[in-house]
Amino acid sequence: MPTVSTRRVVITGMGAISPLGVGAAALWQGLREGRSAIGPLRHVDAGRLRVKVAAQVPESFDPAAHIDERTLPLLDRTSEFALHAAREAVAQSGVDFAGNGLGQRTAVIVGTGVGGETTQDEQSRRLYAENAPRAHPLTIVRLMTNASASQISIAYGLHGPTYAVASACASANHAIIQAAQMIRYGMADAAVTGGTEACLTYGALRAWEAMRVLADDTCRPFSVNRRGLVLGEGTGIFVLESLEHARARGATILAELAGTGMSADASDIVMPSAEGAAAAMQQALQEAELNPGDVDYINAHGTGTQANDVTETRAIRLAFGAHADRLAVSSTKSMHGHALGASGALELVAAIGALRDNVVPPTANLDKADPACDLDYVPNTAREMPVRAVLSNSFAFGGLNAVLALKRAP
């Protein structure tokens, strides 16, 4: 990918809500501990479902404690998560959007795979099961895919480009890439970006059951006895800035988002392609000006399905050659579940944590590796090791691939 601009992009704030707790620190601490948040499905219709496990945000999360009472009725669960995580990210960054007209030059780009699914499910139940005469008047503003991005824009007075990105399980990474490119190419000086998802509704769970890719016990990426993915929910939101802007205001830089890569398999709607995934990784390395040997850790897409884990292993070998055997690779979905469009954002918290603390989070529940998955997957226990650069992979149904390359803070 040719470089049009030399403007560097850095991350100065992050916020999260995940099955491991409220806040980015809670997520990272749980990952470091190798603690899986996968457990029995909490759902009013659990008895009618075959799926019995999920990775869910703790019941202690109370949106009313964090969101203005006038705003709360306008929000689907996805936007509740997003607004809370955005508040954490903005607070950590210390950025003042009102100062020097920054709000006019700040983009808001948020990824989601299904958008306001909770609202959609609730209103469908009212209309079809309960024969309600009409839908709730706020149904559209809650369920529209851009709701989370728009609510963040309103909350902070951000007038730059604001929209949603929907590319299934690659949505968060695609959104973050779009935000980074806007800064890199001078279309914005800062961005609030990430991914959000609250997909554990009766209709969505039934649909995933029908695909026969859900595990019935837990998520075991790369394990010989893996039984499928485990659905999760949550949000990760980040503040990105140009390096010049962050340095000028004396910001603490968490990491540099040094490169990105995107590709499409253009082959099958659900079966992944090693060549397509490898192309996205190679693009990210090239844009970041990294050689394969400069990378120490890959946060893998690692869903725990039969097809994904073998294909991703092959893709890493295609992209990294002989260095693949020296990489630490792990899937944190084994702990926070597969949050679809938000997964890449939760995993970016893990990637930043690995860089900052020189600790690689493990692949939980990995008892015996599949012979076809023959890389170093950091089984069960976090590993202290030097981490100079990281890739974070997101690969989606539809053959859509999005990869982030991170370096230590400059």
Report CA 88 to chain centroid distance, whole Å: 16
| Cα–Cα dist 164/149, whole Å | 6
Specify whether the CB–CB gap between 68 and 109 falls below 8 A.
no
For the question of residue 301 being annotated catalytic, the response is: yes
Q: Give the pLDDT score at 74.
A: 98
- Is the CB of residue 58 less than 8 Å from the CB of residue 221? no
Q: CB within 8 A of 253, min separation 6: which ones? A: 10, 11, 12, 243, 246, 409, 410
Name residue, tokens 């899986």: 36
Encode 123-137: b = buried (16+ Cβ within 10 Å), e = exposed: beebeeeeeeeeeee
Per-residue pLDDT at 5: 56
Judged against a pLDDT cut of 60, whether residue 242 lies above it is answered with yes
State the DSSP code for 379: B
pLDDT, tens digit, for every residue of 130-147?
Answer: 999 999 999 999 999 999
Contact status, residue 399 vs residue 266, Cβ threshold 8 Å: yes
* Helix locations, 200-328, DSSP H: 202-211, 243-248, 274-288, 306-320
List, for residues 69-117, the tens digit of each pLDDT value.
999 999 999 999 999 999 999 999 999 999 889 999 999 999 999 999 9
Q: What is the rounded distance in angstroms from the CA atom of residue 24 to the CA atom of residue 213?
A: 29
Which residues are bridge partners to 169 per DSSP?
167
**336 part of the active site:** no
Going along the chain from its start, the domains and CATH numbers come out as 9-248 (3.40.47.10), 259-407 (3.40.47.10)
Residue in 84, 174, 245, 301 annotated catalytic? 301
Nearest residue to 199 via CA among 242, 169, 173: 169
Our separate counts of H helices and E strands in the chain read: 12, 15
Distance between terminal CA atoms of the chain?
23
Q: What whole-number distance in Å separates Cα of residue 277 and Cα of residue 270?
A: 13
User: What is the rounded distance in angstroms from the CA atom of residue 222 to the CA atom of residue 371?
Assistant: 9
- Confidence band, pLDDT 50/70/90 cuts, at residue 66: confident
d(CA 324, CA 319): 8
**What number of other Cβ atoms are within 10 A of residue 221's Cβ?**
30
Distance CA 315, CA 238 (A): 28
Name the percent of the chain lying above pLDDT 90.
Answer: 97
DSSP state of 129: I
> 338 catalytic, yes or no?
yes
Please give the model's pTM, rounded to 2 decimal places.
0.97
Tell me the pLDDT tens digit for each residue of 251-307.
999 999 999 999 999 999 999 999 999 999 999 999 999 999 999 999 999 999 999
**CA 32 to CA 380: how far, in whole Å?**
10
Beta strand pairing call for 400-407 and 389-396: antiparallel
Residue 94 and residue 72: Cα distance in Å, rounded? Answer: 25
> Which one of the listed residues 174, 219, 338, 373 is annotated catalytic?
338
- Identify the active-site residue in 169, 199, 219, 373: 169
The pLDDT assigned to 187 comes to 96
